[in-house]
Chains A and B, each alone.
Chain A
Amino acid sequence: MTVLTLRGVTAGYGDDAPILHDVSLDLQPGEVVAIIGPNGAGKSTAMKAVFGLLHLHGGQVWLGDEEITGEPPERVVARGVCFVPQTENVFPNLTVQENLEMGAYILTGPLDDRLDHVYGLFPPLLEKRNQAAGTLSGGQRQMVALGRALMLDPKVLMLDEPTAGLSPAYAQQIFELIGRINGAGTPIMMVEQNARQALSVAHRGYVLVDGRNRHQGTGADLIADPEVARMFLGG
């Protein structure tokens, strides 16, 4: 059964003209799906539509067989969908550990197991756990943001440009981690600027242009597609 479905979503901010027009996306169990496209194509907007952060003019969002169209973010998170925004994705004045604890706010009871799991995935965070997240480097901050989202053991993980602004080495590390998190069974939907690398990790990809579906296919097919290559992969 499909994990997450956007069906014919037309959405925008407030009552302004919609940014997304009839966009349909889906995520299957165990998959990594990459959404690529030029700047302003509505890639991030498509993710925010899942979290009820937008005004939906039309269309539906389904989580498994339950419709979650327009539910507020805290409800969607409680259902097990975790989101890592592109910017401002850590609480800068909270320590690393407090950031992680906030990720599991809705859980009651001890968090030791979850913290151990996340520190296992991101060993550098363990020694910095009492440091304010705002003082970390960009790459480490991205780890905190990913770790925070993983504290809930999410059913679906959504990442908005997880490698934006990172050095190639760090970007490579983040892509490897995405592979590992997915390898443990978590389906991931991500928006990426870094199209070639994203498509090579992803099972499938969608190309959005001007807020509309343009292409879709397996990662390998999209890399091989001459039009996609010309537009987004640098020839």
Chain B
Amino acid sequence: MGDLLIFVNFYLLPGLVLGSIYALGAIGVSLVFGILRFAHFAHGDMMTLGAYLALTVVAVTGANPMLALPLAMIGTAIIALGIDRWFYKPFHDKSTIVLVIASFGIALMLRSLIRVIWGVEIESYSVGISRPLVFFDSLRIAERHIWIIGSTVVLMLIVHWLLTRTRTGKAMRAVSDSPELARLTGIPTERVIKATWMLGAALAAAAGVFVGWDTQLQTTMGWNLLLPIFASAILGGIGRPYGAMAGGMVIGLAEELSTYPWIGTEPLLSPGYKTGIAFAIMVVMLIWRPAGLLRGRVY
């Protein structure tokens, strides 16, 4: 197998898959931060929730995870609305640190609830080994990777359409720009907040399903992805959904490509340090350009 094919099969494609997952999670984190002004630490566990909802659909119907995806997204969006209604909304007029702490609480509650309902065993959507599709004799792509990257592209186009073509989407950008002016303009902030939760949670659920499909389902899967997802949102600029998409892709690719033997024959970075990449990028961005690549808000 040529060097290029090794690069594509084992570094570039996994990087794009990881980037898709980070991007989908980061859009929600960035929107919630932009509109509700707090770091939502339960976002990772919303991803886990989406993944496990899809697991139930897959187990009951025997369907492909792709078919379970829309149901998992809708279910997670509804649960997020409930969480906002009963746990976050009562604190809307409090200082944002109260909401941050509340979201920590929600993260713990969601994870415990998932353990109670689905158990603590490691789960998987499929049994057995699926053979990758082979193109041009040697380009091997797992079918799920095509689905994951393809659906991410579709979801991002939908997000773009929502934010630029629909009234509520434009209002979300307006509230993110200036909440005070939005109120003075007559935009119903509560409705915008609900839309934000639905969109953010649905995308988080999609990211969760993709993680579970690509690897396996564990109750800590979402929590463990929180750091790279926040790093992606910060890299792109807080409150900038397009920045979050780009930031997620950059960090996903950077993590995977950092282990490629760029110099000599040894991996540039030992795979054990892969997760440090996101942290390093976040630290550098916060020092060098805290507003992010797309000039988001600085608090």
Assembly CA distance A148 to B170 (angstroms)? 14
Q: Tally chain B residues at the interface, Cβ within 8 Å.
A: 18
Assembly CA distance A89 to B182 (angstroms)? 10
Assembly CA distance A7 to B42 (angstroms)? 48
Known: A94-B170, A102-B170, A105-B171. A77 touches B185 (CB 8 A): yes
Residue-wise, chain B 160-185 has the 8 Å CB interface mask toward A (1 for contact) of 00000001001101101110111111
Residue-wise, chain A 73-108 has the 8 Å CB interface mask toward B (1 for contact) of 110011000010100111111100010011101100
Known: A74-B183, A74-B186. A91 touches B167 (CB 8 A): no
Known: A85-B181, A105-B167. A91 touches B173 (CB 8 A): yes
B177 to A148, Cβ gap below 8 A?
no
Assembly CA distance A198 to B64 (angstroms)? 69
A-B pairs under 8 A by CB, number: 60
Q: How far is the CB of B176 from chain A (nearest CB, A)?
A: 8
Assembly CA distance A85 to B184 (angstroms)? 9
Quick one: which of B176, B178, B185, B187 has the most chain A CB within 10 A? B185
B177 to A73, Cβ gap below 8 A?
no
Task: Give the chain A neighbours of B189 by CB distance below 8 A.
Answer: 74
Residue-wise, chain B 111-130 has the 8 Å CB interface mask toward A (1 for contact) of 00000000000000000000
Assembly CA distance A90 to B263 (angstroms)? 51
A51 on the interface (CB 8 Å rule)? Answer: yes
State the main secondary structure of chain B at its contact with A. Answer: helix
Assembly CA distance A152 to B180 (angstroms)? 18
Task: Give the chain B neighbours of A102 by CB distance below 8 A.
Answer: 170-171, 174, 182, 185, 187
B267 on the interface (CB 8 Å rule)? Answer: no
Q: Tally chain A residues at the interface, Cβ within 8 Å.
A: 24
Q: How far is the CB of B163 from chain A (nearest CB, A)?
A: 10
Known: A77-B185, A105-B167. A88 touches B173 (CB 8 A): no
State the main secondary structure of chain A at its contact with B. Answer: loop
Q: How far is the CB of A211 from chain B (nearest CB, A)?
A: 22
Which A15-67 residues have a C-beta within 8 angstroms of B?
51, 53
Q: How far is the CB of A4 from chain B (nearest CB, A)?
A: 16
Assembly CA distance A160 to B154 (angstroms)? 44
Task: Give the chain A neighbours of B271 by CB distance below 8 A.
Answer: none
Assembly CA distance A234 to B187 (angstroms)? 41
Assembly CA distance A98 to B183 (angstroms)? 16
Q: How far is the CB of A51 from chain B (nearest CB, A)?
A: 6
Closest residue of A by beta carbon distance from B168: A105
Task: Give the chain B neighbours of A152 by CB distance below 8 A.
Answer: 186
B188 to A93, Cβ gap below 8 A?
no
Residue-wise, chain B 186-201 has the 8 Å CB interface mask toward A (1 for contact) of 1111000000000000
Residues on A facing B (Cβ under 8 Å): 51, 53, 72-74, 77-78, 83, 85, 88-94, 98, 101-103, 105-106, 148, 152
